[in-house]
Structure 1
Amino acid sequence: METYAGESFYFKGGRQAVVLLHAYSGNTNDVRMLGRQLQQHGYTVLGPLFTGHGGDFCRIIQEGSTDAWWADTQLTIRRLRDSGINQIAVFGLSLGGLLATRALENDPQLAGGGIFASPITTWGASNVPEYFPRLADRYYRRIKLPVDDEKKKLAWIDQHLPDQLADIQAMAKQLSLHLGQLKKPFFIAQGGQDEMIDPHSGAQLAQQLRAQGTPVDYHFYPNATHLLTVNTAHRQLFADVLDYLHNLFEVSDDKNK
Structure 2
Amino acid sequence: MKKKMLLPKTTYFEGGPRGIILLHAYTGSPNDVRSLGRYLNNEGYSVLLPLFSGHGTMRPEDILEEGPDSWLKDLEDSINWMKEQGFEQVAIMGLSMGGMFAMKGIISYPDYVIGGGPMCTPLNPGASTNIIPTFLDYAQFVMKKDGATESEIVRRLPSVKEKQIAQLSELNSFINEIFDNLPHVTQQILLVQAGKDQMMNPDDVYVVEEQLKQSESEVKWYPESGHVITVGPEKKQLQEDILVYLNNLKWCH
C-alpha separation in 1, matches of 2:157 and 2:110 = 41
1:208 CA displacement: 2.5
C-alpha separation in 2, matches of 1:153 and 1:13 = 44
**Equivalent residue number for residue 41 of structure 1:** 43
Superposition CA RMSD, Å: 1.4
**Equivalent residue number for residue 240 of structure 1:** 241
C-alpha separation in 1, matches of 2:132 and 2:125 = 14
Q: Among 127, 131, 134, which residue is 1:128 paired with?
A: 131
**Equivalent residue number for residue 231 of structure 1:** 232
Give every structure 1 segment of 4 or more consecutive aligned residues whose post-TM-superposition deviation is greater than 4 Å. Answer: none
CA contact (8 A) 1:123 1:172 kept: no
User: What TM-score results when the alignment is normalised by the length of structure 1?
Assistant: 0.92
1:152 CA displacement: 2.1
**Residues 209-239 of structure 1 deviation map (CA, whole Å, 9 limit, x = unaligned):** 2xx2310121001111100111112111101
**Equivalent residue number for residue 64 of structure 2:** 61
CA contact (8 A) 1:11 1:44 kept: yes
**Equivalent residue number for residue 169 of structure 1:** 172
1:5 CA displacement: 5.9
C-alpha separation in 2, matches of 1:124 and 1:219 = 21
- Which residues of structure 1 form unaligned runs of 5+? none
SS in 2 for 1:15: coil
2:164 maps to amino acid: L
SS in 1 for 2:48: strand
Tell me the percent identity. 30
C-alpha separation in 2, matches of 1:68 and 1:5 = 20
Count of aligned pairs: 246
- Which residues of structure 2 form unaligned runs of 5+? 1-5
**Equivalent residue number for residue 52 of structure 1:** 54
**Residues 95-121 of structure 1 deviation map (CA, whole Å, 9 limit, x = unaligned):** 000001011011112111101000111
**Equivalent residue number for residue 203 of structure 1:** 206
CA contact (8 A) 1:122 1:197 kept: no
C-alpha separation in 2, matches of 1:118 and 1:203 = 12
SS in 2 for 1:114: strand
Aligned: 1:119 with 2:118: no
Q: Among 159, 162, 171, which residue is 2:162 paired with?
A: 159
SS in 1 for 2:219: strand
C-alpha separation in 1, matches of 2:27 and 2:204 = 21
User: What TM-score results when the alignment is normalised by the length of structure 2?
Assistant: 0.93
CA contact (8 A) 1:5 1:28 kept: no
**Equivalent residue number for residue 26 of structure 1:** 28
**Equivalent residue number for residue 83 of structure 1:** 85
2:233 maps to amino acid: T
C-alpha separation in 2, matches of 1:123 and 1:68 = 23
2:217 maps to amino acid: V
C-alpha separation in 2, matches of 1:87 and 1:180 = 22
